[in-house]
């Protein structure tokens, strides 16, 4: 089903289309909501965002993909939720970014590797993805990332949204987005290294 057909069916209230859309979008919506309001209130935000999506669908103008538009609604819903609670929006917090980089004991004071990367048993994504233990470890690592890092990683590397789209959805600067992405990828690299290094 192409996107226009899906939108037409959603506006018409087609249950199968709702089911397919919820299945496809729900996880990404939850990552965005958790990144902004935290895990405790994310389910409520996603619920409210779905209602806004259904109300606003007839006005959707296809200037972005449906998913990007839906994620922007999640972001707006989450921010208004925070405002109602008198909480500040803290995406891309600098301290959070600084504190979660690669362990500094990996490098000497002169910037050379103190503990250089070790060779891996498996060197291709196909091999790594074929290992259930590794897949589980990667998902566990992703689940333990700070919310903002996880949202950027999921949206960029898994959902393959652009930096511009992610910055708009999460309201972070381009440089924060790049740092958050790099920190998150580094955590995953370290997790694979931990299991793979000879």
- Please tell me whether residue 89 binds other proteins under the rule CB under 8 A: no
List phi, psi (to 5°) of 113: -65, 130
Looking at 6, 90, 188, 195, which residue binds other proteins (CB under 8 A)?
188
Residue 129 binds other proteins (CB under 8 A): yes
The residue among 63 and 160 lying less far from other proteins, judged by its C-beta, is: 160
Which of 26, 83, 140, 194 is the binder for other proteins (CB under 8 A)?
A: 26
**Could you say whether residue 103 binds other proteins (CB under 8 A)?**
no
Interacting residue with other proteins among 59, 95, 124, 133 (CB under 8 A): 124
Burial of 42: CB neighbours in 10 Å, binned 0-12, 13-18, 19+: buried
Nearest to 180 by CA among 71, 35, 13: 35
Q: Does 40 bind other proteins (CB under 8 A)?
A: no
State how far the Cα of 102 lies from the Cα of 79, in Å rounded to an integer: 30
Q: Name which position in 40, 84, 125, 132 contacts other proteins (CB under 8 A).
A: 125
| 132-141 contacts at long range (C-beta below 8 A, 24 or more positions apart) | 133/195, 134/192, 134/195, 134/196, 137/191, 137/192, 137/194, 137/195, 138/188, 138/191, 138/192, 140/191, 141/187, 141/188, 141/191
Examine residue 170 and tell whether it contacts other proteins (CB under 8 A): no
Q: Site residues (CB under 8 A) for other proteins?
A: 13, 15, 18-19, 22-23, 26-28, 30, 47, 50-51, 54-55, 102, 106-107, 110-113, 116-117, 119-120, 123-126, 128-129, 135, 138-139, 153-154, 157-160, 163, 178, 181-182, 185-186, 188-189, 192-193
């Amino acid at each position: 089903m192409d996107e226009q057909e899906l939108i037409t069916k959603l506006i018409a209230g087609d249950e199968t289309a709702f089911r397919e859309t919820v299945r496809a979008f729900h996880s990404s919506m939850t990552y965005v909501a958790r990144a902004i309001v935290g895990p405790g209130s994310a389910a409520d935000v996603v619920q409210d965002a779905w209602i806004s999506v259904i109300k606003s669908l007839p006005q959707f103008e296809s200037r972005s993909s449906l998913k990007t538009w839906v994620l922007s609604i999640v972001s707006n819903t989450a921010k208004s939720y925070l405002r109602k609670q008198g909480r500040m929006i803290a995406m891309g917090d600098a301290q959070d970014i600084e504190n979660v980089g690669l362990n500094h004991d990996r490098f000497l004071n002169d910037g050379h590797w103190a503990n250089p990367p070790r060779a891996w048993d498996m060197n291709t994504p196909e091999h790594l993805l074929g290992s259930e233990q590794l897949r589980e470890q990667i998902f566990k690592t992703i689940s333990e990332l700070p919310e903002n890092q996880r949202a950027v990683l999921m949206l960029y590397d898994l959902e393959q949204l652009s930096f511009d789209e992610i910055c708009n959805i999460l309201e972070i600067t381009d440089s924060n987005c790049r740092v958050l992405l790099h920190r998150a990828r580094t955590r995953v690299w370290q997790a694979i290294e931990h299991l793979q290094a000879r």
